[in-house]
């Protein structure tokens, strides 16, 4: 039934509104909007959260970049504890926007082996691993 509905939707839609079906994840993408991989979703959310945090920084503070090598916490870290909390809250909101589902970053980070992260790249890799498991 689902397959026949999908086929009918694809046949009946106008060219600009054609639906594309992703067999692996069973997600429809309307109007040609690409379906993002988990890695792309997390990367996009991180970049947006970095922008959100930059808006809260003082004028004398250098803005953060979405560079995977950016050190967030620890030696050479760019965020203090309050900055990290603000970043995590912004990241949760942005992940929910791009993935279409609520995501608790803290729960993801605390579950499993508790692998630490210190850079944006290690955070991205950890979130992707946890979201795909």
Express each pLDDT in 108-124 by its tens digit: 777 766 557 889 998 99
Same domain, 27 and 43: no
> Residue 12's domain spans which residues?
2-32
Per residue in 50-109, pLDDT tens?
999 999 988 888 899 999 999 988 888 888 888 889 999 999 999 999 888 888 888 877
Report the pLDDT value the prediction gives residue 22, as an integer from 0 to 100.
36
Please state the domain count of the chain: 2
Phi-psi region of 63 (alpha: psi -120 to 50; beta: other; left: phi over 0): beta
Same domain, 57 and 24: no
DSSP class of residue 76 equals: T
Q: Give backbone dihedrals phi and psi of 114, rounded to 5 degrees, phi first.
A: 65, 35
Contact 132, 40 (CB under 8 A): no
Same domain, 47 and 111: yes
Contact 42, 131 (CB under 8 A): yes
């Amino acid at each position: 039934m689902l397959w026949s509905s999908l086929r009918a939707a694809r046949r009946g839609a106008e060219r600009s509104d054609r639906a594309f079906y992703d067999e692996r994840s069973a997600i429809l993408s309307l109007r040609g909007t690409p379906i993002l991989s988990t890695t792309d979703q997390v990367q996009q959310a991180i970049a947006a959260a970095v922008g959100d945090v930059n808006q809260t920084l003082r004028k004398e503070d250098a803005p953060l970049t979405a560079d995977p090598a950016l050190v967030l916490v620890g030696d050479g870290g760019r965020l203090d504890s309050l900055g990290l909390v603000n970043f995590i809250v912004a990241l949760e909101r942005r992940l929910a926007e791009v993935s279409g589902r609520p995501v608790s970053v803290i729960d993801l980070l605390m579950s499993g082996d508790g692998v630490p992260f210190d850079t944006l790249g290690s955070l991205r890799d950890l979130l992707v691993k946890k979201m795909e498991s």
